[in-house]
Structure 1
Amino acid sequence: MPVKQESIYLALGANLASPAGAPAETLRAALNQLSEKGAAIRAVSAFYSTPAYPAGNGPDFVNAAASISADWSPRETLDIFHAVEADLGRTRSTRWGQRTLDLDLIAFGDTVLPDPETHARWRNLPPDQQGSLAPDELILPHPRLQDRAFVLVPLADIAPDWVHPVLGQSVRKMCAALDPADVAAVKRLE
């Protein structure tokens, strides 16, 4: 019996040139590499210009979201994302720093990992600790997706009705709950 392929949602971002070129070319190269590694690319959002996060942390980013499917577990998916990042010049030296490529595993179907209690702990981590603490295990859905316009605005292009399995809110509803100034700062590129 074939394994059901979950919808895997990812956020892509870059604000430095990579071996593939400028940030937009890097995002396209990353999607091509994922396809070469066995992912079916189901949908890709428009590309957006977004202010660096946190504010003032380098040049603006190019961000996008994609939906893929693959015969990978959540951990395999993350490992493949990290391999693609490394191949395109990503080094992990500063949390939330400038980067050639960032592939964030946003959601893996309705999977909640490692468990609802741990997810809640990371989701509710105080802002002053978010920049210095990182989980040592995979947390799904991404614990900050509901807070980030640079994730939700592109994700709304491709999955506006996807419902967060813990919060019970659609992408559209989470996006509407954001500060309007944060949403306005995410500008669609031609």
Structure 2
Amino acid sequence: MDESMGTPALVALGANLPFAGEPPAETLRQALKALATEGLSVLAVSRFYATPCFPAGTGPDYVNAAAVLAQGKGSDATSLLAALHAVEERFGRVRNKRWGMRTLDIDLLAMGDSVLPDPATQDSWRALPPEAQVQAVPDRLILPHPRLQDRAFVLVPLADVAPDWVHPRTGQSVAEMLAALPEADRATVKPL
């Protein structure tokens, strides 16, 4: 890879509400194009997938995807996250409810083998029990994303574009994390 591109970043995209009269899949397509206006290059994009809203019956199904991005050399995770948030805002994202329905969500999953803010904090958030995940909200960026290994709607698309990426704390590849999920979870994520 060109050294001027910096460390590749893995992102997950999702939407389940229309924006400007367009369906979620079109919002994802347009958001991927909009990343260039923030100085990001899209190196690879997964297929788009339909995923049930959680909890079931609380809203329309999601459209999910994953992408590998390159940013300028010397860019850091904080500036990348700000760029992703800027694109979300252009597509009507309002941050008023965690895990709520949305017009666009772009999650920074990982940047190479970076562990932020430090290994102990990342491990602690990754090990958080499900009931505590609902209540606790990190006050800073945690990388890799602490719920990455638990979510079929993230891992199925991510396996399209980065199956061999290895989690720097668990030592598992995306393909291995996906295989470790229950088949019932994987089966809910269907290609569009």
Paired position in structure 1 for 2:47: 46
Listed as ranges, the gaps of 5+ residues in structure 1 are none
Instruction: Spell out the pairing of 1:1-190 with structure 2 (5 A cutoff).
Output: 5-19=6-20, 21-71=22-72, 72-189=75-192
Q: How many residues align?
A: 188
- C-alpha change, 1:182 and 1:162, in structure 2 (3 Å) is same
Q: 1:70-126: CA deviations, max 9, x gaps?
A: 023100111111111111001111110000000000001110000010001111111
RMSD (Å), alpha carbons: 1.3
* Alpha-carbon distance in 2 for matches of 1:4, 1:69: 6
CA distance in 2, matches of 1:53, 1:6: 32
Q: CA deviation at 1:6?
A: 0.8
The one-letter code sitting in structure 1 at the alignment partner of 2:22 is: G
What secondary structure does 1:131 align onto?
helix
Give TM-score, length-normalised by structure 2: 0.94
Aligned with 2:135: secondary structure?
coil
Residues 110 and 164 in structure 1, CA contact (< 8 A), matched pair in contact too? yes
Tell me the TM-score normalised to structure 1 length: 0.95
Kindly indicate whether the alpha-carbon contact (under 8 Å) linking 1:7 and 1:109 is maintained by their aligned counterparts in 2.
yes
- Cα-to-partner distance string for 1:159-189 (whole Å, 9 max, x where unaligned): 1111111110010000000010010010000
For 2:44 and 2:171, the matched residues in 1 are separated by: 23
* 8 A contact 1:44–1:65 mirrored in 2: yes
| Structure 1 residue matching 2:57: 3-state secondary structure | coil
Q: CA deviation at 1:20?
A: 6.8
Identical pairs, percent: 58
Supply the distance in 1 between the matched residues of 2:58 and 2:9 (Cα, whole angstroms): 28
The answer on whether the counterparts of 1:107 and 1:140 sit within 8 Å (CA) in structure 2 is: yes
Q: Is the 8 A contact 1:66 1:155 kept in 2?
A: yes
Deviation for aligned residue 1:129: 1.6
| CA shift in 2, pair 1:31/1:20, >3 Å | farther
Could you report, residue by residue, the CA deviation over 1:35-88 in whole angstroms, capped at 9, with x for unpaired residues?
Answer: 122111100000000011333331100000000100231001111111111110
* SS in structure 1 of the partner of residue 26 of structure 2: helix
Q: Point out the more displaced range, 2-11 or 163-172.
A: 2-11
